[in-house]
Structure 1
Amino acid sequence: MPAQGRVERRGSRVPAEVGLTQLRGIAQVALSSSPWTGLLFTVGLFADSWRIGVYGLLGAAASALAAAVLGADRRGLANGLEGYCGCLTAIAVVVRLGASWRTAVLAVLAAAVCAVVSAAAGRLLGRAGLPALTAPFCLVAGALAIALPPAAAAAAPPAATDRFTTLSATQLGHAFCNGVGQVFFLDKWYAGLILLAGLLVASRTAAVAAACGSAVAILTACSLGLPADRISAGLYGYNAVLVAIALGATFLTLTPWTAGYATLAAVASVPFTAAWQAFAQPSGGSPFTWPFVVTTWLFLAAAPALDRPGISFEKAK
């Protein structure tokens, strides 16, 4: 083939490769590398709000570009591992400050910083065989949340009661869907269903794990007497959803015993989320996905010490 033909063919593939990397970066928020999952996730973002959709794409692109310029591993870059934290960080910025040119610049810079933090976290945690997960996003977005005033003052989370929280059928349905949607800060129930469909495209196991994680979180939150409106909004469910995907469909070999282990972790993430909300609120912060990150780390770190079949896990991807 003539050299010019090879160059033209290579040039025609570049936009497609960039697009696939972008979609995989969004999909990796839920530990998937499927571009179809990323496409449906993107649809879900825009279904909730065009601002969230635009900033999610912007953050994923900025983080991946910064990682590429800094010489990140090409395989990880192609699989979207350099984009997901930037995606979440940019969304967190626009949710907090609203859309503007200033917010866009800040979102791009914060997403680029995520690339550096991700590299450091991967190097440090890799020695322990633990994945970085969304810790870089939590660190960068957490610092911004404390440093920058929100567009509107956040109300203090209501205290739990000593009674089982009852939900109407509508609240129950919204809680289930929003538990998935709040992974991306989405508060429209149908956007959560689109995200669940995106998971189903890549892996039935991941979709079932996410659904079970949301259901377990609802039951746990109601048992703790947590406020019905916050349960319905999915604020206690999204960390449990991510924990269930990580332990039930990604890092552990799936067996009945490990499914129970993942369920226990999802249960543990709910009071952890409520406690983190109470801790972070006075400073204007948010738990973000720290409960997911820390719970998953603890359960993965404990796994080798447990003498059960199927407890061995894949190391950080």
Structure 2
Amino acid sequence: MPTAGQAVRTMGRRPIAAWRTHLHGIAQVALSANPWTGLLFLAALFADDWRLGVYGVLGTLVSTGAAAALRTDWDGRLSQGLEGYCGCLVGIATLVRLGASGRTALLVVLAAAVCSILTAAAVRLLGPLGLPVLTAPYCLVAAVMAIAPPSNAAATPASATAHAAATGPSMADLGHAFCDNIGQVFFLEKWYAGLIVLVGLLVSSRRAAVAAACGSAVAVLTARAIGLPADRIAEGLYGYNAVLVAIALAATFLAPTPWTAGYAVLAAVASVPLTTAWTAVVQPSGGSPFTWPFVVTTWLFLAAAPAMDRPGMPYEKAK
């Protein structure tokens, strides 16, 4: 039998392991499994608005807890945080849409629990195809949450409001766009919060941080080239999907070669007009593209990868 001291140490390790799992869940929003990255992402949420941090943690806790209760921890998915990141994003998206309230918190609990069900289904359906789940469960739940409940006009995200810009962006606008492209992955509006997210990526992987930075820069250049409104570019509304696409293809699923780097750049470019088109389609109903452009672009480019007779193909095991 274990001694009293061993029992105390075991009990002490369990909360630490649990919080590490939840931090992994936050980090997996950007395809990382580093707890320090998750902690920095959480710091970015609180730096932008403490309510984002609270609702992000709530969604992560519920989604991970629901998955654990349903015994979906095959291949260590729980410990890797792969059952928590969609809940994290749903919590933040619901807050941004409806504002902080008891009703919002209840909806986050329900939506995050549904995310765990959809994630399990997506793993079963996409696994035989060799495709990763990515943020598809979050997108499905968030789309329903965005359209079904009446929104709080004061809390409506910037992506749901039409903008126009008569002049080109200044250097300050371009700098903000670079940071906000990264921050908007978490709905962050303060440019320095985006920098904290980038530092979090750097802690996990220099390759991921470089990919995110390049994806953001490519998105800014692409958005300018096709003449998108300067103020929306500066807010990062056209670039956050490109950031995630770049991380997925250049730093997660494809081997690092010059060919795959160029392939990832092409995918990041493609995600910008797709984001624009998706926004135009869903805006009339009060919806948002969320990260659907990232999901669809990444799936298509990964599905095409085995057909490319180039170094770095086929890609690594999908998550």
Gaps of 5+ in 2: none
The alpha-carbon deviation at position 146 of structure 1 amounts to 1.2
**Corresponding position: 1:11 with 2:16:** no
1:267 paired residue number: 269
Whole-angstrom distance in 1 between the partners of 2:282 and 2:37: 32
2:182 paired residue number: 180
Deviation string, structure 1 residues 125-146 (Cα, Å, up to 9, x no partner): 0110000000000000101111
Whole-angstrom distance in 1 between the partners of 2:18 and 2:244: 26
Deviation string, structure 1 residues 259-293 (Cα, Å, up to 9, x no partner): 00000000000000000000000111000000000
1:70 paired residue number: 70
1:202 paired residue number: 204
Contact preservation (8 Å) 2:126, 2:132? yes
Secondary structure at the counterpart of residue 127 of structure 1:
helix
Whole-angstrom distance in 1 between the partners of 2:89 and 2:7: 35
| Match among 162, 166, 182 for residue 157 of structure 1 | 162
**Corresponding position: 1:191 with 2:188:** no
The alpha-carbon deviation at position 182 of structure 1 amounts to 0.1
Give the partner amino acid of 2:83: E
Q: Which moved more, 1:3-12 or 1:287-296?
A: 3-12
Give the partner amino acid of 1:66: A
User: 1:160/1:122 Cα in 2 relative to 1: closer, same or farther (>3 Å)?
Assistant: farther
1:98 paired residue number: 99
The alpha-carbon deviation at position 149 of structure 1 amounts to 2.0
2:41 paired residue number: 41
Whole-angstrom distance in 2 between the partners of 1:53 and 1:156: 24
TM-score, normalised with respect to structure 1: 0.96
Within 5 Å, give how 1:1-150 maps onto structure 2: 2-73=2-73, 75-150=76-151
User: 1:207/1:18 Cα in 2 relative to 1: closer, same or farther (>3 Å)?
Assistant: same
The alpha-carbon deviation at position 3 of structure 1 amounts to 4.4
CA-based RMSD of the aligned residues comes to: 1.5
Give the partner amino acid of 2:276: A
Contact preservation (8 Å) 2:257, 2:312? yes
Whole-angstrom distance in 1 between the partners of 2:283 and 2:39: 33
**Corresponding position: 1:171 with 2:173:** yes
Deviation string, structure 1 residues 30-69 (Cα, Å, up to 9, x no partner): 0000000000000000000011000001100000000000
TM-score, normalised with respect to structure 2: 0.95
The alpha-carbon deviation at position 160 of structure 1 amounts to 9.5
Contact preservation (8 Å) 2:165, 2:231? no
2:238 paired residue number: 236
Q: Which moved more, 1:8-17 or 1:57-66?
A: 8-17
The alpha-carbon deviation at position 242 of structure 1 amounts to 0.1
Within 5 Å, give how 1:207-222 maps onto structure 2: 207-222=209-224
Identity percentage of aligned residues: 69
Whole-angstrom distance in 2 between the partners of 1:141 and 1:193: 25
Gaps of 5+ in 1: none
Contact preservation (8 Å) 2:164, 2:231? no
The alpha-carbon deviation at position 314 of structure 1 amounts to 1.1
Give the partner amino acid of 2:119: S
Contact preservation (8 Å) 1:157, 1:277? no
Whole-angstrom distance in 1 between the partners of 2:85 and 2:192: 22
Whole-angstrom distance in 1 between the partners of 2:295 and 2:255: 19
The alpha-carbon deviation at position 203 of structure 1 amounts to 0.3
Q: How many residues align?
A: 314
Contact preservation (8 Å) 1:135, 1:290? yes
1:278 paired residue number: 280
Give the partner amino acid of 2:34: S
Whole-angstrom distance in 2 between the partners of 1:274 and 1:158: 13
Give the partner amino acid of 2:121: A
The alpha-carbon deviation at position 147 of structure 1 amounts to 0.5
Contact preservation (8 Å) 1:160, 1:224? no
Give the partner amino acid of 1:124: L
